[in-house]
């Protein structure tokens, strides 16, 4: 069974619908990529209608050839030359069926139109069935996330060579993105974050015109997208440190504390453990370090699911997530300490959950 057939099988496992319908708008539904493998191209207005064994892709003449060449054999591809043809296909596929849609994606006006044109018996939200399948990665997905992860790490291994006094955050972000492309990325997986000095205290700072100075924090949070899959990695450096200064000692202590918190979290990532546990362990370690000097300074969740989307379908490693961690989930592990007016440290790596526990990619 190839991976698309296996994905359909998982989605339809206990599904309360006979047909699954995904429709793109000007945005591509990431489940469309999940099921067709079509990660490039916009496929605007394309419709995928699947059942347990096979699927029909209704696309436009613009992308018919690409789809025909790239889709797996379970997917029959047709080009609809007119609205009339699309209506005919919809009626043929959906009439009197219970049709599942991605309720988190389909706009209400399209939902109504499909209901009117396709005349299904019922339309239901397939969100749970879709997420249940996708939050567990299969082998091709793990491999692609691994490649995306290698690309961003290669860029990290080179970027320090580009840092010089006076370079701006924006220039570093641009350089980082171009390195990722050089190493094989299709694109950055999100807008690269570069923070100098005290800007590192803002977790999602937008890189601007700040110039790099000696003895400063450099925090870079970036990811590569490769064949539809994302990586998400953060590194914090100290640029031209003054190793004798108190500032340096403080910076290094923050770094070491975050690094240890990340390891503590990693060790608790295991199948069967509640998703909130690794977060709570990292938080507790940071809050208690040196009698509480960093208490309350780890201000966000420890991690999130990672896959086709950088914040992917699936649970977060955050307070309140009682779901159990499962084998072959992929998460980020990204504790941080943020000190307003001074700077911040975040270290982020991507973790595959194996039978025996979490492993950094």
List of residues contacting ligand GLY (CB under 6 A): 190, 221, 232, 304, 332, 334, 348
Burial of 296 (0-12, 13-18, 19+ CB in 10 A): exposed
Residue 192 or 216: the one with the smaller Cβ distance to ligand GLY is: 192
Binding site for Mn ion (CB under 5 A): 221, 232, 332, 348
Minimum Å gap between C-beta 77 and ligand GLY is 35
Cα 81 from chain centre: 35
Residue 169 binding result from Mn ion, ligand GLY, none, given CB thresholds of 5 to 8 Å by partner type: none
Identity of the residue, 118 or 336, whose beta carbon is nearer to ligand GLY in the bound complex: 336
Could you tell me the smallest distance in angstroms from the CB atom of residue 323 to Mn ion? 18
Q: Is 13 exposed, middle or buried (0-12, 13-18, 19+ CB in 10 A)?
A: exposed
Residue 190 binding target from ligand GLY, Mn ion, none, CB below 5 to 8 Å by type = ligand GLY
Give the shortest CB-334-to-ligand GLY separation in angstroms: 6
Question: What's the alpha-carbon Rg for the chain, to the nearest Å?
Answer: 23
Interacting partner of 93 out of ligand GLY, Mn ion, none (Cβ under 5 to 8 A depending on kind): none
Q: Which residue has the tokens 């202590």?
A: 253
Looking at the Cβ atoms of 169 and 334, the one nearer to ligand GLY is 334
Binding partner at 175 among Mn ion, ligand GLY, none, C-beta below 5 to 8 Å by kind: none
* Minimal distance, residue 331 CB to Mn ion, in Å: 9
Nearest distance in Å: CB 357, ligand GLY: 22
What Cα–Cα distance (Å) separates residue 230 from each residue in 175, 316, 324, 331? 19, 16, 23, 11
CB nearer to ligand GLY: give 30 or 332. Answer: 332
Q: How far is the CB of 204 from ligand GLY (least distance, A)?
A: 7
**Is the Cβ of residue 276 or residue 348 nearer to Mn ion in the bound state?**
348
Q: How far is the CB of 190 from ligand GLY (least distance, A)?
A: 5
Continuous segment of H or E residues that includes residue 252: helix 246-268
Inter-residue contact 27 to 110 (CB < 8 Å): no
The token duo for 299 is: 């201000």
3-class SS letters over 119-182 = CCCEEEECHHHHHHHHCCCCHHHHHHHHHHHHHHHHHHHHHHHHCCCCCEHHHHHHHHHHHHHH
Angle between helices 246-268 and 276-288 (to 10 degrees): 150
Strand partners, 303: 317
Could you tell me if 218 and 199 are in contact, meaning their C-beta atoms sit under 8 angstroms apart? no
> Which residues contact residue 148 at a Cβ distance below 8 angstroms, ignoring those fewer than 6 apart?
185, 189, 223, 224, 225, 226, 229, 230, 231
Nearer to Mn ion, 231 or 257 (CB): 231
The answer to whether the CB of 83 falls within 8 A of the CB of 59 is no
Residue nearest to ligand GLY (CB): 221
Q: Which is nearer to ligand GLY, 113 or 153 (CB)?
A: 153
Is residue 289 classed as helix, strand or coil in its secondary structure?
A: helix
CB of 312 to ligand GLY, least distance (A): 11
């Amino acid at each position: 069974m190839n991976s698309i057939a296996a994905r359909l099988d998982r989605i339809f496992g206990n599904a309360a619908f006979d047909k699954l319908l995904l429709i793109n708008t000007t945005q591509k539904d990431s489940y469309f990529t999940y099921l067709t493998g079509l990660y490039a191209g916009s496929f605007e207005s394309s419709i995928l209608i699947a059942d347990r064994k096979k699927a029909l892709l209704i696309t436009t003449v613009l992308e018919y050839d690409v789809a025909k060449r790239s889709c797996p054999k379970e997917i029959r591809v047709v080009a609809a030359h007119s609205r009339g043809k699309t209506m005919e296909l919809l009626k043929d596929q959906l009439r009197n069926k219970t049709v599942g849609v991605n309720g988190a994606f389909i706009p209400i006006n399209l939902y109504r139109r499909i209901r009117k044109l396709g005349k299904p018996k019922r339309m239901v939200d397939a969100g749970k069935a879709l997420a249940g399948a996708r939050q567990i990665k299969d082998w091709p997905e793990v491999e692609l996330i691994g490649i995306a992860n290698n690309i961003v790490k290669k860029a990290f291994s080179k970027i320090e060579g580009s840092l010089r006094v006076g370079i701006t955050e924006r220039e570093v972000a641009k350089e980082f993105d171009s390195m990722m492309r050089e190493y094989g990325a299709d694109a950055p997986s999100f807008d690269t974050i570069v923070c100098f000095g005290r800007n590192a205290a803002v977790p999602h700072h937008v890189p601007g015109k700040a110039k790099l100075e000696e003895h400063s924090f450099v925090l870079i949070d970036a990811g590569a997208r490769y064949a539809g899959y994302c990586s998400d990695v953060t590194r914090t450096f100290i640029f031209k440190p003054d190793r004798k200064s108190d500032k340096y000692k403080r910076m290094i202590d923050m770094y070491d504390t975050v690094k240890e918190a990340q390891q503590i979290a990693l060790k608790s990532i295991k199948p069967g453990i509640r998703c909130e546990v690794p977060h709570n362990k990292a938080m507790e370690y940071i809050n208690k370090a040196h009698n509480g000097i960093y208490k309350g300074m780890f201000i966000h969740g420890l991690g999130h699911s990672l896959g086709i989307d950088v914040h992917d379908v699936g649970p977060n490693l955050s307070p309140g997530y009682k779901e159990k961690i499962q084998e072959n989930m992929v998460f980020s592990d990204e504790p941080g300490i943020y000190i307003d007016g001074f700077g911040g440290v975040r270290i982020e790596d991507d973790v595959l959950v194996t039978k025996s526990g979490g492993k950094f990619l």
